[in-house]
Amino acid sequence: MPFQLTKEQQMIQKMAREFARKELAPVAAERDQNHTYPGDSLKKMGELGFLGMLVSEKYGGEDMGTVAYSLALTEVAYACASTAVIMSVHNSICCGSIEKYGTEAQKEEFLRPMAGGEFIGAFALTEPEAGSDPQSMTCSAVRDGDHYIINGTKRFITTGKNSGVIILLARTAEKGSHGISAFLITHDLPGFAVGRIEEKMGQCASDTTDLLFTNCRVPASRMLGREGEGFVIAMSGLDAGRIGIASLSLGIAQAALAESIKYSKQRTQFHQKISDFQGLRWMIADMAMEVAAARLLVVNAAAIKERGENCTAAASMAKCYASEMAQRVTGQAIQIHGGYGYIKEYPVERFYRDARITTIYEGTNQIQRIVIANELMGNPKRQK
């Protein structure tokens, strides 16, 4: 079905594009090389409303809708994927989960300042032995009067160091998804520490860390939702998060395509621009078709979510296809650049590294295929 952006959505897209290309693009390579967290840019993004795009106006947000959010995130990713992944986790999983499941007190304490960009949210699900299978988590939360005592380790947490609040998933009962609960963690809690910061292949301006809990005392009032509701909260957040990662993947691929066109019109071989060679023109055409197809999947998933319908399958399709498309397109971009594509002087090298993780986080693409099949055909375990 044809999809026409509203004037408001077009305006938001334009504003995000202008901000990202002026503020983020010129320093993206330097931040990537030096692993510099984009704190100053995130503050400006908060002032412009980009960190509260899905939050109700009641709590200081902009309530722009999922489509506008996806468009803006794509533009940010075009300029800097590291900043985009921070924006994605903060908006979709963190702000979305707190608004949907939080108490009024929690929303006032956390959601309102998050919407204004006063601090950034993080989401702590993965553990050393629990990645694609979150029900295997061992991080525990034991009730002790008006507190929970938390012990365990979380791994690969985006913005783990620089976050202001972390949604933590921990086990409050021994077995099953109903034994998992969610908590709102701040860095001042006793028994909580940030572990090592990972040396990553790409998206290096976004910190990825371990989180360590040793008899960490968390007030019971910091539980998000009800006890045993954590798995539901996580899965709901991941639906939105996958639309975010799909949008991020799309932005990286669009940037790679644009750079390839630009370079091909400048590079001369055999006494002519390489853009005149049919083989290269076909490569560009294939890249453009893949980008266009991914864009339709991403906008479709965002529109379904914005209408309040079940977006699980659509979000997984968008994330799976867009992330794999980004890897193919950035790979082709390096090929078009030849040896120059393999050196850091040209941005396609960074695009290629940034794209690689998109098939892994927010659920590997193997998991996405399971999700899609289960939505279409039913879960085989439930059929037995």
What residues are annotated to the active site? 362
Decide if 349 contacts 370 (C-beta within 8 A): no
CA-to-CA separations, 34 to 205, 255, 356, in angstroms, rounded: 8, 21, 19
Please give the radius of gyration of the chain, using alpha carbons only, rounded to the nearest integer.
21
Decide if 165 contacts 114 (C-beta within 8 A): yes
Please give the backbone phi and psi of residue 232, each rounded to the nearest 5 degrees, phi first.
Answer: -65, -45
Strand pairing of 165-171 and 121-124?
parallel
User: Within 10 Å of residue 377's Cβ, how many Cβ atoms?
Assistant: 9
| Token representation of residue 342 | 């393999």
Tokens 């009024």 -> residue? 104
DSSP string, 182-244: EEEE-TTSTTEEEEEEP--SS-TTS-EEEEEEEEEEEEGGGEESSTT-HHHHHHHHHHHHHHH
